[in-house]
Amino acid sequence: MRIVALAGGIGAARFLRGLKVAAPTAEITVIGNTADDITLLGLRVSPDLDTLMYTLGGGIDDTQGWGRDRESWHVKEELAAYDYGPSWYGLGDRDLATHLVRTSLLDAGYSLTEVTAALCHRWQPGARLLPMSDDRIETHIVIEDTQGRRAVHFQEYWVRLRAEPAARDVVVVGVEDAHPAPGVLDAIGQADVVLLPPSNPVVSIGTILAVPGIRAAITAVDAPVVGVSPIIGGAPVRGMADKLLPAIGVETSAVGVGRHYGGRGGHDEQGAHDEQDRGGLLDGWLVDTVDADATVPGAIVQAGPLLMTDVPAAASIARQALSLASAVRR
Ligand code: GDP
Ligand code: CA
């Protein structure tokens, strides 16, 4: 079975770790968000690709959900002694090695796809990890504070400003002219199942879908498309997804996000046949038991516990997503 999953960072990584347990023989291709990528201290950092790679490869700081396990912070302390560098962004010593390898390979002319494969050679994540694009794409958030209306890099908004100023707009710089990375469209076209794990709908899944060609490839695919809600009972499980949904006019709820992705048609709410092509993405939408009354026109909604407290819990969510996929098979 060939499974393709779109992925942000923590939410997707935890889901995918469960998916590997739920489908040990599946060939999994992960299309990772790169719109969070940033250059710091001259180093190219790809936070979501790294979270995926470390989580699936067994090198993640599991409590934090990002960064390396057994991390130390000597470089950060030394930079602080120089009063230099982005003190708001954590670059641990072990993690820095990853960014050094990435940056020097990119500088030598390799693409991000090639560099990611090289990094994964060490981590053996058990899935093929592809960046959504080799082109530079950066999410900027438009805010308005005492300094007036301005756009800041997503990381500055998320990490330094802790998403406190209200987001007025989300601008994905460079995305219109970007191309999907090699292998991305083929993987989607050949998939037996396409999954949208519980990731941030705006700055993770939303940015991947904004790369020209990716959304169209998913809406055109024969395989069932199933999403897992990142919102439980009106709030994001961890993180601040609720800070950005209002900026794109989407209610912070399992229904809001499900309807934002949209049903593909072919099913009505009761699971009966429905010929209408609704132009959405989803055949199935998995929500938490507390959101069991959710409906998404053109998709089948199923409920189950969606809290990824540990790997077995994530595996059972992944199993339910796969069984929903076979139930909605077109
Ligand atoms: P980021 O790039 O690290 O922010 O990670 P993602 O975009 O992949 O994931 C962030 C989203 O994952 C947030 O909206 C959370 O609500 C969601 N999330 C995190 N943990 C869980 C969980 O245990 N269950 C569910 N359903 N969603 C989760
Ligand atoms: Ca991210």
Q: What domains appear along the chain, each with residue ranges and CATH number?
A: 2-134+177-327 (3.40.50.10680), 138-176 (no CATH)
Q: Any residues with Cβ below 6 Å from ligand 1, and which?
A: 8-12, 48, 51, 198-200, 204, 229-230, 232, 236-239, 241, 306-308
For the segment 16-39, the average pLDDT, to the nearest whole number, is 98
Q: Which ligand is nearest to the CA of 47?
A: 2
Protein residue closest via CA to atom 5 of ligand 1: 9
Tell me the pLDDT band of 138, cut-offs 50, 70 and 90.
very high
Ligand nearest to the CA of 198: 1
**278, pLDDT greater than 80:** no
Q: Which two tokens stand for residue 305?
A: 């516990």
Mean residue pLDDT across the chain: 95
The stretch 50-75 carries a mean pLDDT of: 97
Q: For residue 197, which atom of ligand 1 is closest to its CA?
A: 8
pLDDT at 145: 82
Protein residue closest via CA to atom 19 of ligand 1: 11
For ligand 1, mutation pick of 203, 204, 208 (most atoms within 8 Å of CB) = 204
> Which ligand has the shortest distance to the CA of 313?
1
198 Cα to the center of ligand 1, angstroms = 5
**Closest ligand by atom to 155 CA:** 2
Q: Which atom of ligand 1 is nearest to the CA of 235?
A: 16
For ligand 1, atom 26, name the residue with the nearest CA.
230
Q: How far is the CA of 47 from the centre of ligand 2 (A)?
A: 6
pLDDT exceeds 70 at position 67: yes
Pocket test for ligand 1, best of 141, 157, 209, 237 (most atoms within 8 A of CB): 237
Interatomic CA distance for residues 204 and 199, integer angstroms? 6
Structure confidence by residue, pLDDT tens digits, 311-327? 999 999 999 999 999 99
Q: Is residue 44 scored above 90 in pLDDT?
A: yes
Least confident of 138-142, 263-267, 297-301, 320-324: 263-267
User: Do the Cβ atoms of 57 and 197 come closer than 8 Å?
Assistant: no
Q: pLDDT tens, 237-255?
A: 877 778 899 999 999 999 9
Question: Residue 296: its pLDDT value, please?
Answer: 97
User: Which runs of E-coded beta strand occur in 33-105?
Assistant: 38-40, 43-45
8 CA distance to ligand 1 middle (Å): 8
How many Cβ atoms are within 10 Å of 47's Cβ, its own excluded?
Answer: 24
Q: Tell me what pLDDT residue 268 has.
A: 62
Q: Sign of torsion, CA 33 223 123 135?
A: negative
pLDDT of residue 195: 98
What pLDDT shows up at residue 25? 98
Burial label for 246, CB within 10 Å (0-12, 13-18, 19+), is middle
Determine the Cα–Cα distance for residues 84 and 72; give it in Å rounded to an integer.
18
pLDDT of 106 reads 98
Residue 28 has pLDDT above 90, yes or no: yes
Whole-number pLDDT of residue 269: 58
pLDDT level of residue 279 (50, 70, 90 thresholds): confident
